[in-house]
Amino acid sequence: MFDFIFKRTTDQAADQQAAEATPEQGAAAAASAIRREEQAQRAASLAGDETAAVELILHSEFAGVRLAAAEHVQSQPQLERVLQAMRNTDRRVAKLMQGRLDAIRYQQAEQQKAQACLELAQRLLQDEKLTPNQVADLDRQWQITAAVPALAEPYAAARAALAARLE
């Protein structure tokens, strides 16, 4: 029955506490805005400095600043370091780092597959008994690897030598 009286007094007390805390909160918000602006400027001025970007990511309290700095991280060890630190803290940065790590690992795997095909082609050139099936299998393996420009020319030369040997 008298709830409205008690409610009103607690609302007035809360308003009074909010009025007292407002200057402190305003100062804290202003300091936070200044820190955010300073860190955002640091993130914008990184210009490819990977170690500074990693340090900014690891020590920044603002998600937008961390994401902006994460754009400058490219090397695998630094990506792994940031991913480990941000895995449970900042999902966007962690996903960006994981995507870049996956791309690097994919490129490395394709490089290894292409190198294996080149080595197989060179072994087949040395083999006395060369069959068309072996060359066809080599061609299939090369087709499923992504294009590796560094190994395409040596493979083409080895493949041409194999074709000449089969004829």
**Residue 12 within any structural domain of the chain:** no
* 99 and 151, same domain (yes or no): no
* 120 and 97, same domain (yes or no): no
At 75 the three-state DSSP class reads coil
- Whole-number pLDDT of residue 160: 94
Question: What average pLDDT does the chain have?
Answer: 86
Query: Of 104, 131, 149, at which residue does a domain stop?
Result: 104
- Quick check: 37 pLDDT over 60? yes
- Per residue in 83-141, pLDDT (tens digit) is 999 999 899 999 999 999 999 999 999 999 999 999 999 999 998 888 999 999 999 99
Decide: pTM greater than 0.85. no
Q: Which domain holds residue 59?
A: 23-104
Question: How many separate domains does the chain show?
Answer: 2
* 45 and 114, same domain (yes or no): no
Hey, how many other C-beta atoms are within 10 angstroms of the C-beta on 96? 20
Query: Of 59, 80, 104, at which residue does a domain stop?
Result: 104
All residues at 6 or more sequence positions from 124 whose CB lies less than 8 Å from its CB, including other chains: 130, 134, 135, 138, 162
* 98 and 117, same domain (yes or no): no
Q: Is the distance from CB of 48 to CB of 72 less than 8 angstroms? A: yes
* 127 and 82, same domain (yes or no): no
